[in-house]
Amino acid sequence: MGKTLAEKILSEKSGNDAKAGDIVIAKVDLAFVQDTTGPLTVRTFQSSSMTKLANPKRTVLFIDHAVPSPNANLSNDHILLRNFSRDSGCILSEAGDGVCHQIVAEAYARPGDVVVGADSHTVTAGGLGAFATGMGSSDVAVAFGLGKTWFRVPETFKIEVSGDLQKGVSAKDLILHLIGKIGADGATYKALEFHGYTIKKMSMSGRFTIANMVVEAGAKVGLFASDETTRAYLKGEGRGKDYRPLAADADATYEKTIKINAAELEPTVSKPHTVDNTALARELLGTKIQQVVIGTCTNGRLEDLVAAANILKGKKIAPSLRLIIAPASRRVLLDAIESGYIRDFVESGAIILPPGCGPCLGLHQGALGDGESCLSTANRNFEGRMGNPKGLIYLGSPATAAASALTGEITDPRGVT
């Protein structure tokens, strides 16, 4: 019987014929932490009977959430990670290199890999066909030491997307639409597998955006076939040898199929305080916002910055609005500088942050004031997320964010060119 992508990868990595519902022990090809989950992982590892990393060159510590560090406590956490990297021989990704998920995509994850990270958005690497999932510090500490972990093989929902996205509508709108449709727990414990004409045509950047947000529907993993687009992406990153074609079997068994006509999608926004609380941007016209964030692991890639810059170039943002741009990696920042987009942003009135997680999780850089609203290209809008339980967070695409920054209220980007 045919296999889904999840079954295929977990079969290969466990050495068993893995079927949905089975419990398997799978080899971990890449394990990582970031600076807010890493210290607990390191301390857990050090307090255990495990003494050595199973695979130091496939173990990465990222300093990305608090960069540059806003206070001494977090600076000390960074020292702990640097020391552990030095002593254990694992890789350290320094402050300023970028968000873990972007660097994992650029430099580490390979189609068919099992990737575990102490960050829920580890699912991003599913965009290139890796079984990538978020876990807590204890699970990742054990993966560090044993080089393996256990999984329940998930059932898979097949997401079949047809049609061309309208101009001004992007992968972000597609995934927000899907989450709105199935709910924030609509895919709990499941794998989502993306298929169809729209997906085949989609850039890696768009695939990463969609994979990044599957956890907001509760999913364990979001998987895309590894195809010619994946091959070209890896080649462009200097990793052509990491490519392998990978797809689900034609006769794989899916728990259900969800069909989406991309041509019917419109710019979509999640309203406070849950991601599945979606509406069309045009239904929210007139909603005043005081801050716009463009960046994060969801939408901080060059393609996202291009979509925003095309709208902002030569224009000024609304008075008293803060537009915050946080490129997802050093590489994205460099590309955006060389292509002139950073100049466009700065001239429009934007604040440029270093590559990293920026204001997304409320740790620093762009905390909201009482009663303030923000439109962000990030992936979460939970109460208290951006540093203040009295703040309101809306989620949308880079185009919607840029169009809204010009007007100071939620705006459908299709009317703005």
Partner 1 sequence: MLKGKGHKFGDSISTDHIIPGRYAHLRSNLPELAKHVLEDADPNFSAKVKHGDFVVGGNNFGLGSSREHAPLVIKMAGVSAILAKSVARIFFRNAINLGLPVLICDTDKISDGDELEVDLAAGKVKNLTNGSTLTFGKIPGVMLKILNEGGLIPYIQKHGDFKL
Q: Using CB under 8 A as the criterion, which residues of the chain lie in contact with partner 1 when the complex forms?
A: 23, 25, 36-37, 39-40, 44, 47-50, 65-66, 70-71, 73-74, 76-77, 80, 117-120, 122, 134-139, 141-142, 145-146, 148-150, 152, 184-185, 188-189, 215, 218, 220, 274, 361-363, 367, 380, 382-385, 387-389
Q: Work out how close the CB of 238 gets to partner 1 at its nearest, in angstroms, rounded to a whole number.
A: 30
What is the phi/psi pair of residue 67, to 5°?
Answer: -130, 135
Q: Work out how close the CB of 275 gets to partner 1 at its nearest, in angstroms, rounded to a whole number.
A: 9
Query: Running DSSP on this structure, what letter comes out for residue 160?
Result: E
Nearer Cβ to partner 1, position 162 or 277?
A: 277
Element containing residue 85 per DSSP (H, E): helix 72-88
Q: Work out how close the CB of 95 gets to partner 1 at its nearest, in angstroms, rounded to a whole number.
A: 15
Nearer Cβ to partner 1, position 138 or 162?
A: 138
Query: Running DSSP on this structure, what letter comes out for residue 166?
Result: P
Nearer Cβ to partner 1, position 121 or 331?
A: 121
DSSP letters, 211-256, are HHHGGGGT-SEEEE-B-HHHHHHHHHTT-GGG---B---TTB--SE
Q: Work out how close the CB of 192 gets to partner 1 at its nearest, in angstroms, rounded to a whole number.
A: 13
Nearer Cβ to partner 1, position 49 or 417?
A: 49
Nearer Cβ to partner 1, position 40 or 247?
A: 40
CA dist 179 → 79, 269, 385 (Å)? 38, 11, 19
The three-point CA angle 59-64-70 to 5° equals 135
Nearer Cβ to partner 1, position 142 or 294?
A: 142
Burial class (CB in 10 A: 0-12, 13-18, 19+), 387: middle
Cis, bond preceding 68 (omega within 30 deg of 0): yes
Cβ proximity of 33 and 140 under 8 Å:
yes
Q: Work out how close the CB of 20 gets to partner 1 at its nearest, in angstroms, rounded to a whole number.
A: 14
Question: Rounded to an integer, what distance in angstroms lies between the CA atom of residue 8 and that of residue 297?
Answer: 27
Helices (H), 244-320: 296-299, 302-312
Q: Work out how close the CB of 367 gets to partner 1 at its nearest, in angstroms, rounded to a whole number.
A: 7
Nearer Cβ to partner 1, position 363 or 401?
A: 363
Question: Rounded to an integer, what distance in angstroms lies between the CA atom of residue 28 and that of residue 203?
Answer: 27
Nearer Cβ to partner 1, position 137 or 209?
A: 137
Q: Work out how close the CB of 124 gets to partner 1 at its nearest, in angstroms, rounded to a whole number.
A: 13
- Can you give the length of the chain in residues? 417
Q: Work out how close the CB of 103 gets to partner 1 at its nearest, in angstroms, rounded to a whole number.
A: 17
